[in-house]
Structure 1
Amino acid sequence: MDLANFLIQLLNSVQYGLLLFMLAAGLTLIFGIMGVVNLAHGSFYMLGAYLAYALAGQLGNLFLAIAVGAVLAALFGLVLEWLLFRHFYERDHLDQVLLTFGLIYIFEELRSLLWGDDVHGVAVPSLLDWSIPLTDTLSYPVYRLFMSGLCIALALGLYLLIAKTRLGMKIRAGAFNREMAESLGVNIKLLHALVFALGVGLAAVAGMVAAPVSSVYPNMGAPVLIMCFVVVVIGGIGSVRGALIAALLVGFVDTFGKVLLPQVAGMLVYMLMAAVLLWKPEGLFKQ
Protein backbone atom coordinates (compact mmCIF):
# COMPACT_ATOMS: atom_id res chain seq x y z
CA MET A 1 0.00 0.00 0.00
CA ASP A 2 1.52 3.30 -1.10
CA LEU A 3 1.30 6.55 0.85
CA ALA A 4 -1.66 7.95 -1.11
CA ASN A 5 -3.76 4.80 -0.61
CA PHE A 6 -2.80 4.69 3.05
CA LEU A 7 -3.89 8.31 3.48
CA ILE A 8 -7.23 7.61 1.76
CA GLN A 9 -7.93 4.60 4.00
CA LEU A 10 -6.85 6.56 7.07
CA LEU A 11 -9.27 9.36 6.23
CA ASN A 12 -12.00 6.80 5.55
CA SER A 13 -11.39 5.12 8.91
CA VAL A 14 -11.54 8.45 10.77
CA GLN A 15 -14.72 9.47 8.92
CA TYR A 16 -16.38 6.11 9.65
CA GLY A 17 -15.25 6.18 13.26
CA LEU A 18 -16.60 9.69 13.83
CA LEU A 19 -19.92 8.71 12.25
CA LEU A 20 -20.10 5.70 14.57
CA PHE A 21 -19.36 7.99 17.51
CA MET A 22 -22.37 10.17 16.72
CA LEU A 23 -24.54 7.07 16.87
CA ALA A 24 -22.85 5.45 19.85
CA ALA A 25 -22.77 8.66 21.91
CA GLY A 26 -26.55 8.84 21.89
CA LEU A 27 -26.84 5.15 22.66
CA THR A 28 -24.40 5.25 25.57
CA LEU A 29 -26.04 8.38 26.99
CA ILE A 30 -29.50 6.77 26.85
CA PHE A 31 -28.26 3.63 28.56
CA GLY A 32 -25.91 5.35 31.00
CA ILE A 33 -28.39 8.01 32.15
CA MET A 34 -31.74 6.31 31.69
CA GLY A 35 -30.77 2.67 32.07
CA VAL A 36 -32.73 1.77 28.91
CA VAL A 37 -31.47 -0.87 26.48
CA ASN A 38 -32.57 0.74 23.21
CA LEU A 39 -32.53 -1.71 20.30
CA ALA A 40 -34.44 0.82 18.19
CA HIS A 41 -31.48 3.22 18.04
CA GLY A 42 -30.57 2.08 14.54
CA SER A 43 -34.08 3.01 13.42
CA PHE A 44 -33.37 6.63 14.37
CA TYR A 45 -30.35 6.52 12.03
CA MET A 46 -32.66 5.22 9.30
CA LEU A 47 -35.19 7.95 10.15
CA GLY A 48 -32.49 10.57 9.64
CA ALA A 49 -31.52 9.16 6.25
CA TYR A 50 -35.13 9.18 5.04
CA LEU A 51 -35.65 12.68 6.42
CA ALA A 52 -32.61 13.81 4.41
CA TYR A 53 -34.11 12.22 1.30
CA ALA A 54 -37.54 13.78 1.83
CA LEU A 55 -36.48 17.21 3.07
CA ALA A 56 -33.66 17.68 0.57
CA GLY A 57 -36.17 17.01 -2.19
CA GLN A 58 -38.65 19.49 -0.76
CA LEU A 59 -36.23 22.22 0.33
CA GLY A 60 -33.64 21.78 -2.40
CA ASN A 61 -30.77 22.15 0.07
CA LEU A 62 -29.14 19.34 2.05
CA PHE A 63 -27.67 21.68 4.67
CA LEU A 64 -31.09 23.13 5.43
CA ALA A 65 -32.55 19.62 5.38
CA ILE A 66 -30.05 18.50 8.04
CA ALA A 67 -30.88 21.47 10.27
CA VAL A 68 -34.65 20.99 9.96
CA GLY A 69 -34.37 17.21 10.24
CA ALA A 70 -32.31 17.45 13.44
CA VAL A 71 -35.02 19.57 15.08
CA LEU A 72 -37.79 17.24 13.89
CA ALA A 73 -35.88 14.17 15.13
CA ALA A 74 -35.29 15.73 18.56
CA LEU A 75 -39.00 16.62 18.85
CA PHE A 76 -39.87 13.07 17.82
CA GLY A 77 -37.55 11.83 20.57
CA LEU A 78 -39.30 14.00 23.16
CA VAL A 79 -42.72 12.66 22.12
CA LEU A 80 -41.52 9.06 22.05
CA GLU A 81 -39.95 9.35 25.48
CA TRP A 82 -43.16 10.87 26.88
CA LEU A 83 -45.44 8.28 25.31
CA LEU A 84 -43.42 5.11 25.88
CA PHE A 85 -39.96 5.14 27.37
CA ARG A 86 -40.65 6.94 30.66
CA HIS A 87 -42.98 4.11 31.64
CA PHE A 88 -40.17 1.55 31.35
CA TYR A 89 -37.37 3.11 33.43
CA GLU A 90 -38.11 0.96 36.46
CA ARG A 91 -39.01 -2.12 34.45
CA ASP A 92 -36.76 -5.09 33.80
CA HIS A 93 -34.28 -4.84 30.93
CA LEU A 94 -36.13 -7.65 29.16
CA ASP A 95 -39.25 -5.47 29.00
CA GLN A 96 -37.16 -2.64 27.51
CA VAL A 97 -35.65 -4.98 24.94
CA LEU A 98 -39.11 -6.24 23.92
CA LEU A 99 -40.43 -2.67 23.64
CA THR A 100 -37.57 -1.39 21.51
CA PHE A 101 -37.47 -4.55 19.41
CA GLY A 102 -41.16 -4.06 18.64
CA LEU A 103 -40.48 -0.43 17.73
CA ILE A 104 -38.05 -1.59 15.04
CA TYR A 105 -40.90 -3.37 13.22
CA ILE A 106 -43.25 -0.43 13.71
CA PHE A 107 -40.71 2.03 12.28
CA GLU A 108 -40.00 -0.28 9.34
CA GLU A 109 -43.71 -0.50 8.50
CA LEU A 110 -44.13 3.26 8.80
CA ARG A 111 -41.09 3.77 6.58
CA SER A 112 -42.59 1.40 4.00
CA LEU A 113 -45.93 3.24 4.05
CA LEU A 114 -44.38 6.70 3.79
CA TRP A 115 -41.49 6.16 1.38
CA GLY A 116 -41.90 2.68 -0.08
CA ASP A 117 -39.32 -0.09 -0.30
CA ASP A 118 -37.10 1.26 -3.07
CA VAL A 119 -33.52 2.38 -2.68
CA HIS A 120 -33.19 6.16 -2.85
CA GLY A 121 -30.24 8.44 -3.43
CA VAL A 122 -29.49 11.84 -1.91
CA ALA A 123 -27.40 14.17 -4.03
CA VAL A 124 -24.18 15.62 -2.64
CA PRO A 125 -24.51 19.44 -2.44
CA SER A 126 -22.89 21.11 -5.44
CA LEU A 127 -20.70 23.16 -3.08
CA LEU A 128 -19.04 19.94 -1.87
CA ASP A 129 -19.32 17.85 -5.02
CA TRP A 130 -15.63 17.80 -5.91
CA SER A 131 -12.47 15.99 -4.87
CA ILE A 132 -8.99 16.88 -3.66
CA PRO A 133 -6.32 15.29 -5.90
CA LEU A 134 -3.75 13.24 -4.02
CA THR A 135 -1.92 11.75 -7.01
CA ASP A 136 -2.44 11.69 -10.77
CA THR A 137 -5.03 8.94 -10.40
CA LEU A 138 -6.27 9.20 -6.80
CA SER A 139 -8.40 11.87 -5.12
CA TYR A 140 -10.51 12.23 -1.99
CA PRO A 141 -14.12 13.53 -1.96
CA VAL A 142 -14.57 16.83 -0.16
CA TYR A 143 -17.98 15.72 1.10
CA ARG A 144 -16.33 13.02 3.23
CA LEU A 145 -14.12 15.70 4.77
CA PHE A 146 -17.27 17.70 5.47
CA MET A 147 -18.75 14.64 7.22
CA SER A 148 -15.68 14.32 9.42
CA GLY A 149 -15.63 18.03 10.19
CA LEU A 150 -19.30 18.08 11.15
CA CYS A 151 -18.87 15.03 13.37
CA ILE A 152 -15.86 16.65 15.09
CA ALA A 153 -17.86 19.84 15.65
CA LEU A 154 -20.75 17.87 17.16
CA ALA A 155 -18.37 15.83 19.32
CA LEU A 156 -16.80 19.06 20.62
CA GLY A 157 -20.25 20.52 21.26
CA LEU A 158 -21.29 17.38 23.14
CA TYR A 159 -18.14 17.56 25.27
CA LEU A 160 -18.76 21.23 26.11
CA LEU A 161 -22.40 20.48 26.91
CA ILE A 162 -21.59 17.65 29.31
CA ALA A 163 -18.40 19.03 30.87
CA LYS A 164 -18.94 22.80 30.95
CA THR A 165 -22.65 23.53 31.38
CA ARG A 166 -25.15 23.34 34.21
CA LEU A 167 -27.26 20.90 32.23
CA GLY A 168 -24.17 18.74 31.72
CA MET A 169 -23.51 18.77 35.44
CA LYS A 170 -27.04 17.49 36.03
CA ILE A 171 -26.59 14.81 33.38
CA ARG A 172 -23.39 13.63 35.04
CA ALA A 173 -25.02 13.69 38.47
CA GLY A 174 -28.01 11.72 37.18
CA ALA A 175 -25.72 9.15 35.62
CA PHE A 176 -23.64 8.78 38.79
CA ASN A 177 -26.51 8.57 41.30
CA ARG A 178 -30.03 9.09 40.04
CA GLU A 179 -31.72 9.01 43.47
CA MET A 180 -29.28 11.44 45.06
CA ALA A 181 -29.59 13.88 42.13
CA GLU A 182 -33.38 13.77 42.37
CA SER A 183 -33.28 14.38 46.11
CA LEU A 184 -31.15 17.49 45.46
CA GLY A 185 -33.82 18.98 43.20
CA VAL A 186 -32.84 17.73 39.75
CA ASN A 187 -35.90 17.11 37.58
CA ILE A 188 -35.00 13.58 36.50
CA LYS A 189 -38.03 13.19 34.21
CA LEU A 190 -37.11 16.32 32.27
CA LEU A 191 -33.46 15.28 32.22
CA HIS A 192 -34.37 11.88 30.80
CA ALA A 193 -36.53 13.48 28.11
CA LEU A 194 -33.73 15.85 27.06
CA VAL A 195 -31.11 13.08 27.01
CA PHE A 196 -33.36 10.84 24.93
CA ALA A 197 -34.11 13.67 22.49
CA LEU A 198 -30.36 14.37 22.24
CA GLY A 199 -29.64 10.72 21.51
CA VAL A 200 -32.33 10.53 18.83
CA GLY A 201 -31.13 13.81 17.31
CA LEU A 202 -27.50 12.63 17.10
CA ALA A 203 -28.50 9.33 15.48
CA ALA A 204 -30.74 11.11 12.98
CA VAL A 205 -28.03 13.64 12.06
CA ALA A 206 -25.63 10.74 11.48
CA GLY A 207 -28.17 9.19 9.11
CA MET A 208 -28.75 12.47 7.28
CA VAL A 209 -25.05 13.15 6.85
CA ALA A 210 -24.35 9.60 5.66
CA ALA A 211 -27.29 9.47 3.22
CA PRO A 212 -25.43 10.88 0.17
CA VAL A 213 -22.62 8.35 0.68
CA SER A 214 -24.49 5.19 1.67
CA SER A 215 -27.84 5.76 -0.12
CA VAL A 216 -31.20 5.35 1.63
CA TYR A 217 -32.70 1.87 1.81
CA PRO A 218 -34.97 -0.32 3.98
CA ASN A 219 -33.60 -1.76 7.23
CA MET A 220 -30.41 0.30 6.94
CA GLY A 221 -30.31 0.80 10.70
CA ALA A 222 -29.68 -2.86 11.58
CA PRO A 223 -25.96 -3.08 10.64
CA VAL A 224 -25.06 0.20 12.32
CA LEU A 225 -26.93 -0.81 15.49
CA ILE A 226 -24.66 -3.83 15.90
CA MET A 227 -21.56 -1.69 15.43
CA CYS A 228 -22.93 0.85 17.90
CA PHE A 229 -23.26 -1.77 20.60
CA VAL A 230 -19.71 -2.94 19.87
CA VAL A 231 -18.47 0.65 20.30
CA VAL A 232 -20.42 1.12 23.54
CA VAL A 233 -19.11 -2.15 25.00
CA ILE A 234 -15.51 -1.40 24.06
CA GLY A 235 -15.63 2.20 25.28
CA GLY A 236 -17.47 1.46 28.50
CA ILE A 237 -21.20 1.78 29.03
CA GLY A 238 -22.14 5.38 29.80
CA SER A 239 -18.77 6.90 28.84
CA VAL A 240 -18.90 9.43 26.00
CA ARG A 241 -15.10 9.71 25.97
CA GLY A 242 -14.87 5.93 25.73
CA ALA A 243 -17.38 5.92 22.87
CA LEU A 244 -15.20 8.37 20.91
CA ILE A 245 -11.98 6.39 21.34
CA ALA A 246 -13.72 3.05 20.73
CA ALA A 247 -15.45 4.37 17.59
CA LEU A 248 -12.14 5.52 16.13
CA LEU A 249 -10.56 2.16 16.96
CA VAL A 250 -13.44 0.27 15.36
CA GLY A 251 -13.30 2.53 12.29
CA PHE A 252 -9.56 1.92 11.91
CA VAL A 253 -9.78 -1.87 12.39
CA ASP A 254 -12.81 -2.27 10.11
CA THR A 255 -11.49 -0.06 7.29
CA PHE A 256 -7.94 -1.40 7.19
CA GLY A 257 -9.16 -4.95 7.83
CA LYS A 258 -11.23 -4.88 4.64
CA VAL A 259 -8.18 -3.69 2.69
CA LEU A 260 -5.40 -5.78 4.22
CA LEU A 261 -7.24 -8.90 5.51
CA PRO A 262 -10.47 -9.18 3.51
CA GLN A 263 -10.86 -12.90 4.32
CA VAL A 264 -11.32 -12.23 8.04
CA ALA A 265 -12.44 -8.59 7.95
CA GLY A 266 -15.90 -9.42 9.33
CA MET A 267 -14.33 -10.94 12.46
CA LEU A 268 -11.74 -8.31 13.31
CA VAL A 269 -14.04 -5.83 15.07
CA TYR A 270 -15.45 -8.57 17.30
CA MET A 271 -11.96 -9.89 17.99
CA LEU A 272 -11.04 -6.36 19.08
CA MET A 273 -14.07 -6.28 21.39
CA ALA A 274 -13.16 -9.67 22.87
CA ALA A 275 -9.56 -8.58 23.46
CA VAL A 276 -10.64 -5.38 25.20
CA LEU A 277 -13.14 -7.23 27.41
CA LEU A 278 -10.51 -9.80 28.39
CA TRP A 279 -8.21 -6.94 29.38
CA LYS A 280 -10.83 -4.62 30.92
CA PRO A 281 -14.25 -6.26 31.37
CA GLU A 282 -15.90 -2.89 32.12
CA GLY A 283 -14.60 -1.37 28.86
CA LEU A 284 -11.86 1.19 28.28
CA PHE A 285 -13.44 3.83 30.50
CA LYS A 286 -15.87 3.60 33.36
CA GLN A 287 -18.92 5.87 33.45
Structure 2
Amino acid sequence: MPGRRAHAGHAASVAPGLRVPYTPSAMDFATFLIQLLNSVQYGLVLFMLAAGLTLIFGIMGVVNLAHGSFYMLGAYLAYALTGYFGSLAWAIAVGAVLAMVFGLALEWLLFRHFHCRDHLDQVLLTFGLIYIFEDLRSILWGDAVHGVAIPEPLAASIPLTDILSYPLYRLFICGICLALALGLYLLIAKTRLGMKIRAGASNPDMAQALGVNTRLIHSIVFALGVTLAMVAGMAMAPVSSVYPGMGSSVLIMCFVVVVIGGIGSVRGAFISALLVGLVDTFGKVLLPQIAGMLVYMLMAAVLLYKPEGLFKQ
Protein backbone atom coordinates (compact mmCIF):
# COMPACT_ATOMS: atom_id res chain seq x y z
CA MET A 1 0.00 0.00 0.00
CA PRO A 2 1.32 3.48 -0.80
CA GLY A 3 2.70 5.45 2.09
CA ARG A 4 3.61 2.45 4.25
CA ARG A 5 7.22 1.92 5.23
CA ALA A 6 9.07 -1.33 5.71
CA HIS A 7 11.42 -1.30 8.64
CA ALA A 8 13.83 -3.59 10.47
CA GLY A 9 11.55 -5.31 12.92
CA HIS A 10 12.24 -8.50 14.88
CA ALA A 11 10.41 -10.73 17.33
CA ALA A 12 12.32 -13.91 17.92
CA SER A 13 15.97 -13.59 18.91
CA VAL A 14 18.86 -11.29 19.66
CA ALA A 15 19.92 -11.37 15.99
CA PRO A 16 19.12 -8.52 13.61
CA GLY A 17 15.66 -8.19 12.17
CA LEU A 18 15.16 -7.19 8.56
CA ARG A 19 17.21 -9.20 6.11
CA VAL A 20 16.27 -8.30 2.57
CA PRO A 21 16.97 -11.24 0.22
CA TYR A 22 19.82 -10.34 -2.08
CA THR A 23 19.29 -9.79 -5.78
CA PRO A 24 21.60 -7.79 -8.06
CA SER A 25 19.27 -4.79 -7.79
CA ALA A 26 18.21 -5.25 -4.15
CA MET A 27 21.42 -4.24 -2.37
CA ASP A 28 21.06 -0.52 -2.88
CA PHE A 29 22.55 1.92 -0.41
CA ALA A 30 19.47 2.06 1.86
CA THR A 31 19.30 -1.73 2.12
CA PHE A 32 23.03 -1.91 2.75
CA LEU A 33 22.71 0.74 5.46
CA ILE A 34 19.91 -1.20 7.18
CA GLN A 35 21.99 -4.39 7.20
CA LEU A 36 25.02 -2.46 8.45
CA LEU A 37 23.00 -0.94 11.29
CA ASN A 38 21.55 -4.36 12.08
CA SER A 39 25.00 -5.91 12.23
CA VAL A 40 26.38 -3.14 14.46
CA GLN A 41 23.41 -3.40 16.83
CA TYR A 42 23.73 -7.18 16.96
CA GLY A 43 27.46 -6.94 17.53
CA LEU A 44 27.10 -4.41 20.36
CA VAL A 45 24.55 -6.58 22.17
CA LEU A 46 26.87 -9.56 21.76
CA PHE A 47 29.67 -7.45 23.22
CA MET A 48 27.63 -6.69 26.34
CA LEU A 49 27.15 -10.41 26.83
CA ALA A 50 30.65 -11.49 25.86
CA ALA A 51 32.39 -8.76 27.92
CA GLY A 52 30.96 -10.16 31.13
CA LEU A 53 31.75 -13.71 30.07
CA THR A 54 35.36 -12.93 29.16
CA LEU A 55 35.91 -10.93 32.37
CA ILE A 56 34.59 -13.74 34.55
CA PHE A 57 36.67 -16.37 32.78
CA GLY A 58 39.80 -14.24 32.33
CA ILE A 59 39.97 -12.98 35.93
CA MET A 60 38.22 -15.68 37.98
CA GLY A 61 39.00 -18.63 35.71
CA VAL A 62 35.35 -19.73 35.89
CA VAL A 63 33.68 -21.40 32.91
CA ASN A 64 30.15 -20.02 33.24
CA LEU A 65 27.67 -21.93 31.10
CA ALA A 66 24.82 -20.14 32.89
CA HIS A 67 25.75 -16.76 31.40
CA GLY A 68 22.99 -16.98 28.80
CA SER A 69 20.48 -17.53 31.61
CA PHE A 70 21.36 -14.09 33.00
CA TYR A 71 20.36 -12.62 29.64
CA MET A 72 17.04 -14.46 29.87
CA LEU A 73 16.46 -13.37 33.47
CA GLY A 74 17.14 -9.77 32.46
CA ALA A 75 14.48 -9.94 29.77
CA TYR A 76 11.90 -11.40 32.17
CA LEU A 77 12.86 -8.82 34.79
CA ALA A 78 12.22 -6.08 32.24
CA TYR A 79 8.82 -7.60 31.52
CA ALA A 80 7.91 -7.73 35.22
CA LEU A 81 9.27 -4.30 36.16
CA THR A 82 7.77 -2.59 33.12
CA GLY A 83 4.39 -3.91 34.17
CA TYR A 84 4.99 -2.63 37.70
CA PHE A 85 6.45 0.81 36.94
CA GLY A 86 4.78 1.38 33.58
CA SER A 87 8.12 2.58 32.19
CA LEU A 88 10.92 0.65 30.49
CA ALA A 89 13.47 3.28 31.54
CA TRP A 90 12.63 2.76 35.21
CA ALA A 91 12.60 -1.00 34.65
CA ILE A 92 16.15 -0.94 33.25
CA ALA A 93 17.43 1.41 35.98
CA VAL A 94 15.96 -0.60 38.84
CA GLY A 95 16.75 -3.89 37.10
CA ALA A 96 20.44 -2.96 36.78
CA VAL A 97 20.66 -2.42 40.54
CA LEU A 98 18.85 -5.69 41.23
CA ALA A 99 21.18 -7.45 38.76
CA MET A 100 24.24 -6.15 40.59
CA VAL A 101 22.86 -7.35 43.95
CA PHE A 102 21.93 -10.69 42.40
CA GLY A 103 25.44 -11.10 40.98
CA LEU A 104 27.09 -10.28 44.32
CA ALA A 105 24.84 -12.74 46.15
CA LEU A 106 25.42 -15.51 43.61
CA GLU A 107 29.18 -15.07 43.78
CA TRP A 108 29.11 -15.08 47.58
CA LEU A 109 26.88 -18.14 47.83
CA LEU A 110 28.36 -20.31 45.06
CA PHE A 111 31.05 -19.08 42.74
CA ARG A 112 33.70 -18.03 45.25
CA HIS A 113 33.84 -21.66 46.35
CA PHE A 114 34.43 -22.89 42.79
CA HIS A 115 36.84 -20.44 41.12
CA CYS A 116 39.88 -22.41 42.34
CA ARG A 117 38.40 -25.81 41.54
CA ASP A 118 38.63 -27.91 38.40
CA HIS A 119 36.84 -26.64 35.29
CA LEU A 120 34.69 -29.78 35.26
CA ASP A 121 33.26 -28.81 38.66
CA GLN A 122 32.49 -25.32 37.31
CA VAL A 123 30.82 -26.73 34.20
CA LEU A 124 28.63 -29.03 36.29
CA LEU A 125 27.68 -26.20 38.66
CA THR A 126 26.78 -23.72 35.93
CA PHE A 127 25.02 -26.35 33.83
CA GLY A 128 22.86 -27.15 36.85
CA LEU A 129 22.14 -23.44 37.31
CA ILE A 130 20.67 -23.33 33.80
CA TYR A 131 17.98 -25.81 34.85
CA ILE A 132 17.42 -24.03 38.17
CA PHE A 133 16.93 -20.66 36.49
CA GLU A 134 14.63 -22.19 33.86
CA ASP A 135 12.45 -23.75 36.57
CA LEU A 136 12.37 -20.50 38.55
CA ARG A 137 11.38 -18.65 35.40
CA SER A 138 8.59 -21.12 34.79
CA ILE A 139 7.31 -20.80 38.37
CA LEU A 140 7.42 -16.99 38.42
CA TRP A 141 6.31 -16.10 34.89
CA GLY A 142 5.01 -19.28 33.28
CA ASP A 143 5.94 -20.68 29.88
CA ALA A 144 4.09 -18.24 27.64
CA VAL A 145 5.78 -15.77 25.33
CA HIS A 146 5.55 -12.19 26.62
CA GLY A 147 6.04 -8.83 24.98
CA VAL A 148 7.47 -5.58 26.33
CA ALA A 149 6.21 -2.37 24.77
CA ILE A 150 8.70 0.00 23.19
CA PRO A 151 8.57 3.42 24.94
CA GLU A 152 6.41 5.84 23.00
CA PRO A 153 9.20 8.40 22.30
CA LEU A 154 11.32 5.60 20.77
CA ALA A 155 8.55 3.87 18.82
CA ALA A 156 9.14 5.94 15.68
CA SER A 157 11.31 5.03 12.70
CA ILE A 158 13.86 7.06 10.78
CA PRO A 159 13.02 7.18 7.05
CA LEU A 160 15.79 6.03 4.71
CA THR A 161 13.85 5.90 1.43
CA ASP A 162 10.22 6.14 0.38
CA ILE A 163 9.58 2.55 1.49
CA LEU A 164 12.38 1.77 3.97
CA SER A 165 12.90 3.07 7.48
CA TYR A 166 14.89 2.06 10.54
CA PRO A 167 13.44 1.75 14.08
CA LEU A 168 14.63 4.44 16.47
CA TYR A 169 14.63 1.99 19.37
CA ARG A 170 17.36 -0.09 17.73
CA LEU A 171 19.56 3.01 17.61
CA PHE A 172 18.73 3.54 21.28
CA ILE A 173 20.02 0.02 21.99
CA CYS A 174 23.25 0.89 20.18
CA GLY A 175 23.57 4.01 22.32
CA ILE A 176 23.11 2.03 25.56
CA CYS A 177 25.70 -0.54 24.48
CA LEU A 178 28.24 2.10 23.42
CA ALA A 179 27.77 4.00 26.69
CA LEU A 180 28.32 0.81 28.71
CA ALA A 181 31.34 -0.11 26.55
CA LEU A 182 32.88 3.32 27.18
CA GLY A 183 32.13 3.07 30.89
CA LEU A 184 33.70 -0.38 31.05
CA TYR A 185 36.82 0.87 29.26
CA LEU A 186 37.17 3.85 31.61
CA LEU A 187 36.63 1.63 34.64
CA ILE A 188 39.28 -0.89 33.66
CA ALA A 189 41.85 1.44 32.06
CA LYS A 190 41.57 4.67 34.07
CA THR A 191 40.57 3.87 37.65
CA ARG A 192 42.32 2.41 40.68
CA LEU A 193 39.76 -0.39 40.78
CA GLY A 194 40.55 -1.16 37.16
CA MET A 195 44.25 -1.29 37.98
CA LYS A 196 43.50 -3.89 40.68
CA ILE A 197 41.33 -5.86 38.24
CA ARG A 198 44.15 -5.89 35.69
CA ALA A 199 46.66 -6.90 38.35
CA GLY A 200 44.41 -9.70 39.56
CA ALA A 201 44.00 -10.96 36.01
CA SER A 202 47.72 -10.79 35.21
CA ASN A 203 49.17 -12.27 38.41
CA PRO A 204 46.64 -12.92 41.18
CA ASP A 205 49.21 -14.30 43.67
CA MET A 206 51.45 -11.24 43.35
CA ALA A 207 48.46 -8.89 43.52
CA GLN A 208 47.28 -10.56 46.73
CA ALA A 209 50.80 -10.39 48.19
CA LEU A 210 50.81 -6.64 47.50
CA GLY A 211 47.60 -6.16 49.46
CA VAL A 212 44.93 -6.40 46.75
CA ASN A 213 41.75 -7.98 48.09
CA THR A 214 41.33 -10.49 45.26
CA ARG A 215 38.18 -11.96 46.81
CA LEU A 216 36.50 -8.55 46.64
CA ILE A 217 37.77 -8.08 43.07
CA HIS A 218 36.26 -11.41 42.08
CA SER A 219 32.92 -10.42 43.60
CA ILE A 220 32.88 -7.10 41.74
CA VAL A 221 33.91 -8.65 38.43
CA PHE A 222 31.30 -11.39 38.65
CA ALA A 223 28.55 -8.95 39.61
CA LEU A 224 29.61 -6.67 36.74
CA GLY A 225 29.44 -9.54 34.26
CA VAL A 226 25.99 -10.58 35.47
CA THR A 227 24.77 -6.98 35.29
CA LEU A 228 25.99 -6.51 31.71
CA ALA A 229 24.23 -9.70 30.59
CA MET A 230 20.97 -8.84 32.35
CA VAL A 231 20.95 -5.24 31.08
CA ALA A 232 21.44 -6.63 27.56
CA GLY A 233 18.39 -8.83 28.10
CA MET A 234 16.36 -5.91 29.44
CA ALA A 235 17.28 -3.66 26.52
CA MET A 236 16.49 -6.37 23.95
CA ALA A 237 13.17 -7.45 25.51
CA PRO A 238 10.99 -5.10 23.41
CA VAL A 239 12.75 -6.23 20.21
CA SER A 240 13.13 -9.97 20.69
CA SER A 241 10.09 -10.63 22.92
CA VAL A 242 10.48 -12.64 26.15
CA TYR A 243 10.28 -16.42 25.91
CA PRO A 244 11.59 -19.60 27.60
CA GLY A 245 15.07 -20.75 26.68
CA MET A 246 16.06 -17.46 25.06
CA GLY A 247 19.41 -17.52 26.86
CA SER A 248 20.58 -20.72 25.20
CA SER A 249 20.33 -19.15 21.75
CA VAL A 250 22.97 -16.53 22.57
CA LEU A 251 25.33 -18.54 24.79
CA ILE A 252 27.21 -20.35 22.00
CA MET A 253 27.64 -17.14 20.03
CA CYS A 254 29.03 -15.45 23.15
CA PHE A 255 31.66 -18.17 23.50
CA VAL A 256 32.55 -17.73 19.83
CA VAL A 257 33.06 -13.99 20.40
CA VAL A 258 35.22 -14.64 23.47
CA VAL A 259 37.38 -17.22 21.68
CA ILE A 260 37.90 -15.01 18.61
CA GLY A 261 38.69 -11.91 20.65
CA GLY A 262 40.97 -13.65 23.11
CA ILE A 263 39.96 -14.97 26.52
CA GLY A 264 40.06 -12.21 29.12
CA SER A 265 40.39 -9.34 26.61
CA VAL A 266 37.57 -6.78 26.71
CA ARG A 267 39.03 -4.99 23.67
CA GLY A 268 39.13 -8.29 21.82
CA ALA A 269 35.53 -9.01 22.77
CA PHE A 270 34.44 -5.63 21.35
CA ILE A 271 36.18 -6.07 18.00
CA SER A 272 35.23 -9.74 17.75
CA ALA A 273 31.56 -9.01 18.50
CA LEU A 274 31.40 -6.43 15.70
CA LEU A 275 33.10 -8.86 13.30
CA VAL A 276 30.66 -11.63 14.21
CA GLY A 277 27.75 -9.23 13.79
CA LEU A 278 28.91 -8.24 10.30
CA VAL A 279 29.63 -11.81 9.17
CA ASP A 280 26.37 -13.21 10.55
CA THR A 281 24.13 -10.43 9.24
CA PHE A 282 25.55 -10.06 5.74
CA GLY A 283 26.07 -13.82 5.50
CA LYS A 284 22.34 -14.40 5.95
CA VAL A 285 21.63 -11.79 3.26
CA LEU A 286 24.28 -12.62 0.67
CA LEU A 287 25.03 -16.33 1.31
CA PRO A 288 21.96 -17.78 3.04
CA GLN A 289 22.84 -21.37 2.02
CA ILE A 290 26.00 -21.41 4.17
CA ALA A 291 25.16 -18.59 6.59
CA GLY A 292 25.10 -20.92 9.59
CA MET A 293 28.72 -21.90 8.93
CA LEU A 294 30.27 -18.49 8.32
CA VAL A 295 30.76 -17.39 11.94
CA TYR A 296 32.42 -20.71 12.81
CA MET A 297 34.56 -20.50 9.68
CA LEU A 298 35.67 -17.07 10.88
CA MET A 299 36.54 -18.52 14.28
CA ALA A 300 38.50 -21.38 12.69
CA ALA A 301 40.43 -18.97 10.46
CA VAL A 302 41.35 -16.74 13.41
CA LEU A 303 42.42 -19.65 15.60
CA LEU A 304 44.44 -21.15 12.77
CA TYR A 305 46.71 -18.08 12.62
CA LYS A 306 46.27 -16.75 16.18
CA PRO A 307 45.50 -19.66 18.54
CA GLU A 308 45.11 -17.29 21.52
CA GLY A 309 42.61 -15.07 19.73
CA LEU A 310 42.99 -11.61 18.26
CA PHE A 311 44.23 -10.07 21.51
CA LYS A 312 45.97 -11.53 24.52
CA GLN A 313 44.68 -10.74 28.00
Match of 2:192 among 144, 153, 166: 166
**Match of 1:137?**
163
**Match of 1:31?**
57
Q: Does residue 1:64 correspond to 2:81, yes or no?
A: no
2-structure distance, mates of 1:207, 1:173? 30
Match of 1:255 among 266, 269, 281: 281
Q: Residue 25 of structure 1 aligns to a residue in which SS? A: helix
| TM-score, normalisation: structure 1 | 1.00
2-structure distance, mates of 1:194, 1:90? 17
Q: Which structure 2 residues correspond to residues 132-211 of structure 1 after superposition, within 5 A? A: 132-211=158-237
Report the alpha carbon displacement of residue 158 of structure 1 after superposing the two structures with TM.
0.2
1-structure distance, mates of 2:309, 2:116? 25
Q: Does residue 1:103 correspond to 2:103, yes or no?
A: no
What value does the CA root-mean-square deviation take over the aligned residues?
Answer: 0.4
What is the one-letter code of the residue matched to 2:179? A
Runs of 4+ in structure 1 deviating by more than 4 angstroms, as ranges, are none
In structure 2, runs of 5+ residues without a counterpart are: 1-26
In structure 1, runs of 5+ residues without a counterpart are: none
**Match of 2:245?**
219
Report the alpha carbon displacement of residue 279 of structure 1 after superposing the two structures with TM.
1.0
2-structure distance, mates of 1:68, 1:127? 20
What is the one-letter code of the residue matched to 2:253? M
| TM-score, normalisation: structure 2 | 0.91
What is the one-letter code of the residue matched to 1:53? Y
Q: Residue 132 of structure 1 aligns to a residue in which SS? A: strand
* Larger proportion of helix: 1
**Match of 1:232?**
258
Q: Does residue 1:43 correspond to 2:62, yes or no?
A: no
Q: Residue 139 of structure 1 aligns to a residue in which SS? A: strand
Report the identity percentage: 83
Query: Matched residue pairs, number?
Result: 287
Report the alpha carbon displacement of residue 163 of structure 1 after superposing the two structures with TM.
0.1
**Match of 1:241?**
267
Q: Deviations over 1:111-143 (max 9, x none)?
A: 000000000000000010000000000000000
Report the alpha carbon displacement of residue 223 of structure 1 after superposing the two structures with TM.
1.2
Report the alpha carbon displacement of residue 270 of structure 1 after superposing the two structures with TM.
0.4
Report the alpha carbon displacement of residue 171 of structure 1 after superposing the two structures with TM.
0.2
Q: Residue 44 of structure 2 aligns to a residue in which SS? A: helix
2-structure distance, mates of 1:279, 1:67? 42
Match of 1:78 among 104, 107, 122: 104
Report the alpha carbon displacement of residue 263 of structure 1 after superposing the two structures with TM.
0.9
1-structure distance, mates of 2:171, 2:109? 38
2-structure distance, mates of 1:235, 1:271? 15
